[in-house]
C-alpha cells in the first residue's frame, strides 16, 4: 500500500495477483503518450525497484519510479505531475488503473497543468472505419504509418489540424541542431596542438633526468557559437511562433563537442510591437513550462510587427548580448514589417556589423517563386547573409546542415 500520512492509506493491490504489473504497464503507456522513452525493459526495472523499496510510502514509490523511468531533465516535471494525476483517481486516468481505490473524501481533483500530461491522460478514441487520409484524425498513442509520418514532415505548420499540431510539436522537440563551434581562448592537453605545454613538458623531463624527450602540446578548446534568436510573434506568425520556440528551446540547450554536451550561450527575444526578453522562460528545463512562461511574458502576441523599433530597443538595452563578432543571429520572421524601412535598414546594418552571421528564417519560403517584395522583407533580404525555410519538420531537419555550410563560407 502507499501512504502519504498515517491518516490516508491507498491500496495499490497485491503484487502476487498481477495488479502491480498491470498498473505499471498502464502507467508506462501514459508516459509514452507524454513523450517519455519508456519501454518494456524499463517497466521491468520499475517493478524490481518497487519490490526493493516497498509500497509502504508514496514518496518512496514516486522516487523509485522516477529514478528508473526518467532519463531526461526536461521530462522530470512531466513525470511528477503525471504520477500525481495518475495515482489520484482512476476516473482521471480514464480507468487505466482499475484496481486502485478512489481518492480520499474531500480531495479536489485538480486538472493537470502541462499539455503533455493532459494529452497522456486523455481518453483513447474509439476506432473509426477507414476514411480518406485527409479526414483521419491523428492518434498520438498509435504508431504512425510511413505515409502519414511523411505527410506530417512535409505539412506546412499553418495548415495543421489541432491534433496534428500537438503531434508536430513533439516531433520538432526531437530535432537536433548541432550549433557550429569555434576555437575558444582556453586550451587543453592534446597530441595535436599549436602551443607547447611547458608545465607537463618539464615534469616529463624531470622524470627522465632532465632530457625533454617529448614535447607536450596544448590545443584550443572548441566551444559552441553564442546565439541571439529573435522570434516574430505577430499575427501572421502566430502558428509558427509556438512550434519554433519549442524547437529552439530543445535544440539549442546543449550540443555535443568533443564527446561532451556543453551548454550553449543563447539569448532569445520575442518581438511584435515591442521587444520581450525570453531569457527567464528559456532557463526552464521543461519545454511546456517554457511555453507557459513565455506566453505570460509576451504581451503583444498576435499583434503587429515593428522590427525596426524592436532592434533599436535591443541596441539600447541589450547590446552586450552580442559577444564581439562571434554571435550567430537567427531572425525568425515573415518580413511583413509595419515600421519605417529607413529605421529598419539602419538597425539591421548595426546588427550585422556586430554579429558573425545574420540568418533570416522565413516561413514564407513555402511558396514557390517567393520574392521579398514587401518593404520590410526587402530590407531584410538585403542585410541578411542567407534566407532559410522553416515552415515544416523537414526544413527544420535540414537547418543544421544549412547553418554548417553557411558558416564555412568566408
> 230: Cβ–Cβ under 8 A, 6 or more apart, which residues?
269, 270, 271, 310, 314, 329, 330, 331, 332, 333
3-state secondary structure of 373: coil
Q: What is residue 387's predicted lDDT score, i.e. its pLDDT?
A: 92
> 259: Cβ–Cβ under 8 A, 6 or more apart, which residues?
none
Say if residues 175 and 247 touch (Cβ distance below 8 Å): yes
Q: What is residue 401's predicted lDDT score, i.e. its pLDDT?
A: 77
Say if residues 116 and 78 touch (Cβ distance below 8 Å): yes
- Where are the chain's structural domains? 2-117, 184-222, 225-408
Q: What phi and psi, each to the nearest 5 degrees, are found at residue 144?
A: -80, 150
Q: Is 225-408 in CATH node 3.40.50.410?
A: yes
CA gap 42, 359 in Å, rounded: 42
Q: Is the pTM of this model over 0.75?
A: no
CA gap 308, 163 in Å, rounded: 36
Model pLDDT for residues 189-213, shown as the tens digit of each residue = 777 777 777 777 777 777 777 776 6
Q: What is residue 25's predicted lDDT score, i.e. its pLDDT?
A: 84
Q: What is residue 95's predicted lDDT score, i.e. its pLDDT?
A: 44
CA gap 344, 346 in Å, rounded: 5
Q: What phi and psi, each to the nearest 5 degrees, are found at residue 261?
A: -105, 110
- Positions in the chain short of pLDDT 70: 1-19, 88-147, 182-184, 212-213, 256-259, 408-410
Short-list 310, 314, 341, 339, CA closest to 327 = 314
Amino acid at each position: 500500500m502507499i501512504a502519504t500520512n498515517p491518516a490516508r492509506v491507498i491500496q495499490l493491490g497485491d503484487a502476487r495477483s498481477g495488479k502491480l504489473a498491470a498498473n505499471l504497464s498502464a502507467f508506462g503507456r501514459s508516459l509514452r503518450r507524454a513523450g517519455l522513452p519508456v519501454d518494456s525493459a524499463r517497466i521491468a526495472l520499475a517493478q524490481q525497484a518497487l519490490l526493493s523499496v516497498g509500497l509502504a510510502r508514496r514518496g518512496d514509490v514516486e522516487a523509485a519510479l522516477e529514478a528508473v523511468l526518467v532519463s531526461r531533465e526536461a521530462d522530470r516535471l512531466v513525470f511528477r505531475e503525471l504520477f500525481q494525476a495518475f495515482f489520484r483517481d482512476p476516473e482521471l486516468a480514464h480507468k487505466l488503473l482499475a484496481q486502485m481505490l478512489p481518492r480520499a473524501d474531500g480531495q479536489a481533483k485538480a486538472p493537470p497543468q502541462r499539455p503533455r500530461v493532459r494529452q497522456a491522460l486523455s481518453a483513447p478514441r474509439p476506432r473509426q472505419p477507414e476514411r480518406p487520409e485527409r479526414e483521419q484524425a491523428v492518434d498520438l498513442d498509435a504508431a504512425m504509418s510511413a505515409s502519414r509520418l511523411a505527410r506530417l514532415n512535409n505539412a506546412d505548420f499553418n495548415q495543421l489540424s489541432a491534433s496534428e499540431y500537438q503531434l508536430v510539436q513533439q516531433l520538432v522537440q526531437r530535432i537536433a541542431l548541432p550549433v557550429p563551434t569555434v576555437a575558444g581562448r582556453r586550451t587543453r592537453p592534446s597530441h595535436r596542438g599549436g602551443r607547447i605545454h611547458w608545465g607537463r613538458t618539464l615534469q616529463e623531463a624531470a622524470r627522465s633526468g632532465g632530457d625533454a624527450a617529448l614535447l607536450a602540446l596544448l590545443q584550443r578548446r572548441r566551444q559552441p557559437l553564442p546565439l541571439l534568436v529573435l522570434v516574430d510573434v505577430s499575427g501572421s506568425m502566430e502558428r509558427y511562433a509556438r512550434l519554433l520556440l519549442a524547437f529552439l528551446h530543445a535544440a539549442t540547450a546543449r550540443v555535443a563537442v568533443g564527446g561532451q554536451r556543453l551548454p550553449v550561450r543563447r539569448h532569445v527575444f520575442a518581438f511584435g510591437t515591442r521587444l520581450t526578453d525570453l531569457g527567464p522562460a528559456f532557463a526552464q528545463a521543461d519545454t511546456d513550462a517554457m511555453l507557459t512562461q513565455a506566453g505570460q511574458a509576451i504581451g503583444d502576441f498576435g499583434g503587429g510587427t515593428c522590427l525596426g523599433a524592436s532592434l533599436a530597443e535591443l541596441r539600447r538595452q541589450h547590446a552586450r548580448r552580442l559577444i564581439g563578432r562571434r554571435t550567430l543571429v537567427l531572425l525568425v520572421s515573415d518580413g511583413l514589417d509595419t515600421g519605417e524601412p529607413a529605421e529598419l535598414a539602419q538597425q539591421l546594418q548595426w546588427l550585422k556589423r556586430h554579429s558573425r552571421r545574420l540568418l533570416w528564417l522565413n516561413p514564407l519560403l513555402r511558396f514557390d517563386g517567393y520574392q521579398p517584395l514587401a518593404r520590410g522583407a526587402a530590407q531584410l533580404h538585403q542585410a541578411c547573409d542567407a534566407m532559410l525555410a522553416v515552415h515544416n519538420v523537414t526544413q527544420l531537419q535540414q537547418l543544421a546542415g544549412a547553418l554548417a555550410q553557411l558558416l564555412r563560407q568566408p
